[in-house]
Structure 1
């Protein structure tokens, strides 16, 4: 049967207060009660009482004090050595936990307008997948208005789309600044010409987006045409940027595209930029999300990282470098 001493030791390991051990360690390190009290932001009587309680629980005197003397006893030396080792292990807990890879899993659904071209999103997807390979993604391409409705209905993690004005219930952040410019295809009579006056464009057939309306997400395009007196027919439209590009390249009419998106086609001779040289409208793409959405860990992590990247990178660095033919 266990002895009384063994029972006492068992009770000691269960009831011992770590704060008493830490106070004792600091007393020894500081070489006195007064200095220990200052380091611990405690009163001197509180530190003395803590030492007394520890000695009573252990049944040993740990420090000889009084009459100007301060000496750690043999029992105190043994205890101090052990406490320092334990304290070192406890101090490493935070670093050890931080070093453990947090295995996030879940599904992220991104609702996006067509042809969003930015290295920021590409790099984030790449790095996020490397860190959290259990996370799955789905990217749905749809018109901006459909993105807004879906997010209001709490469908999807976030949207990357056009936003003419704030949407009730949704929060947004500017993702990229882009400039729209007019282009024509190789079969158009203006292809390859320089020094074109904008007046020459006013009666040309036009291709544009379905949201190129006064009350649409691309209303600046409609306002530009109205201001400049464009009177040509709208012969083609789509909500998809790739299809607008197709209609322009095929020669149905002149039409608007984001300058950084069209740069590659200009360089390869598929499109020709038309006046005005400064573009016809600056239009921002936004990150949009529903703050009332019930997000899983993967969704919260991805949205947090995306917003952090946006805040850390100036807008002019979020687009690819424009490349034109010499």
Structure 2
């Protein structure tokens, strides 16, 4: 029988581990150096170095490679960081949960949302939530989809509404709605206002797009659409925010993709012009993402449960925006 190394005994680590060390380590993992982390923590460099050494002694592993010209997590450090982020998020939520032990629902809901979310189903859920629980509050952080998912995984967001590329096994996903992307140009563009255009007319024109518009990313269908139009590889502007992609299209930087239902008002107002193809447009699904391991307050639970119930009782055809 192989004897267990006493350095790695779960009982010893759980007994000796200082939670403040984990907080320091979470900051270290996102820093460029010990000095950088010390500045973020408002501590001295020697105290942060001592905290790191104590944590490494406790877990019996080197966590950060600090060789000359290098400051990076070791394999053990990467593993600990994944767990520490979740633990840190849970600890931060404890005071909030305890403070909200009242008869009225007055908790706070933090939602991470991709910038292009235009969804009446979600809007109605917010309306019901505020009407039923006026003392509760909501904040909406507009983030790139990948960052929105990271916020949920770290338990810093109640849930996210975003595009999904790779599904993380610890998170839950539910399709909220489906939207279709078309290509548009603005008034300064030579194709603006021209009727009878064909897809061949787009060849050679520059384009603007989203940062995730590339092969093997969440907007791969948009990449294929631009390739079909033979617009070339010259992208004159990119952003992770729909509002800024729209701005670049409207100001004539290039032809760019937008959800058709989001651009409809601008087309009606003469600010945008849709160019071919007009049929068989690529469909993109937007999901609700949540972390089942997060201990949510009552407000978070009520809003999330209501939104999921609305999804379950609304056919996908009614959640598809063309």
**Deviation (angstroms), 1:195:** 1.7
Alignment match, 1:240: 241
Distance in 2, matches of 1:173 and 1:184, equals 33
C-alpha distance in 2, partners of 1:205/1:254?
Answer: 7
TM superposition shift of 1:154? 1.4
Kindly report which structure 2 residues correspond to 1:102-113, keeping only aligned pairs within 5 A, or say none: 103-113=104-114
What does 1:69-80 align with in structure 2 at a 5 Å threshold? none
Report if aligned partners of 2:206, 2:231 keep a CA contact under 8 Å in 1: no
In the other structure, the counterpart of 1:302 is 303
- Give the gaps of 5 or more residues in structure 1: 1-101
TM-score (norm 2): 0.65
Which residue of structure 1 aligns with residue 163 of structure 2?
Answer: 162
- Quote the residue 2:121 is aligned against: 120
1:118-267 correspondence to structure 2 within 5 Å: 118-267=119-268
Contact 2:202 2:229 in 1 (8 A): no
Deviation at 1:133, TM superposition (A): 1.2
Q: Residues 229 and 189 of structure 1: is their aligned pair in 2 closer, same or farther, counting only changes over 3 Å?
A: closer
8 Å contact kept, 1:182–1:275? yes
Runs of 5+ unmatched residues, structure 2: 1-102
Distance in 2 between residues matched to 1:168 and 1:235, nearest whole Å: 37
**Aligned pairs, number:** 220
Deviation of 1:291 after TM superposition, in Å, equals 1.0
Matches within 5 A, 1:18-57: none
Q: Which has the larger radius of gyration?
A: 1
Give, in angstroms, the shift of residue 249 of structure 1. Answer: 0.4
- On the 8 A contact 2:202/2:230 being kept in 1, the answer is no
- The offset of 1:189, in angstroms, is 0.9
Change over 3 Å in CA distance of 1:130–1:261 after alignment to 2: same
Please name the residue that 1:90 is paired with.
none
- TM normalised by structure 1 equals 0.64
Measured on the aligned residues, the alpha-carbon RMSD in Å equals 1.6
Q: Deviations over 1:140-160 (max 9, x none)?
A: 000001011111111110000
Instruction: Find the counterpart in structure 1 of residue 284 from structure 2.
Output: 283
